[in-house]
């Protein structure tokens, strides 16, 4: 997903446009060590005019 994509929130079907994309570290606990992967975060301008940060796994792309 990238800036400008139209997305839909999975739970309530609200539509929005991605305005910013960045990655956050996500710890993976495996045994005695901690490994880090990254997870995609999105800033979305929703159709009601609100802006929020959400995890990419909570939305689905409608139009790229």
Residue 1, in any domain of the structure: no
Residue 6 pLDDT: 97
What residues are paired with 59 via a beta bridge?
9
Beta-carbon contacts of 26 under 8 Å, excluding residues fewer than 6 positions away, are: 36, 37, 38, 39
- State the residue for tokens 């800036």: 3
Report if residue 58 sits inside a domain: yes
Cα–Cα distance for residue pair 44/37, rounded to 1 Å: 23
In a domain, 49, yes or no: yes
Question: What pLDDT, on the 0 to 100 scale, is given for residue 26?
Answer: 85
**Domain carrying residue 43:** 6-63
* pLDDT digits 0-9 by tens, 7-53: 999 999 999 999 999 999 888 887 777 888 899 999 999 999 999 99
- pLDDT computed for residue 64 by the predictor: 66
Q: What is the DSSP letter of 11?
A: T
Round to whole Å and give the CA distance between 37 and 24.
8
Q: pTM for the complete prediction?
A: 0.83
What's the number of domains the chain is made of?
Answer: 1
Q: Please report whether residue 24 resides in a domain.
A: yes
Residue-level pLDDT at 37: 86
pLDDT of residue 29: 80
Would residue 41 count as lying in a domain? yes
């Amino acid at each position: 997903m990238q800036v400008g994509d139209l997305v839909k929130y999975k739970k309530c079907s609200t539509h929005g446009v991605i305005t910013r994309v960045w990655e956050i570290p996500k710890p993976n606990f495996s045994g005695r060590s901690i490994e880090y992967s990254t997870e995609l975060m999105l800033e979305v301008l929703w159709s009601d005019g609100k802006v929020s940060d959400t995890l990419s796994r909570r939305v689905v792309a409608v139009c790229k």
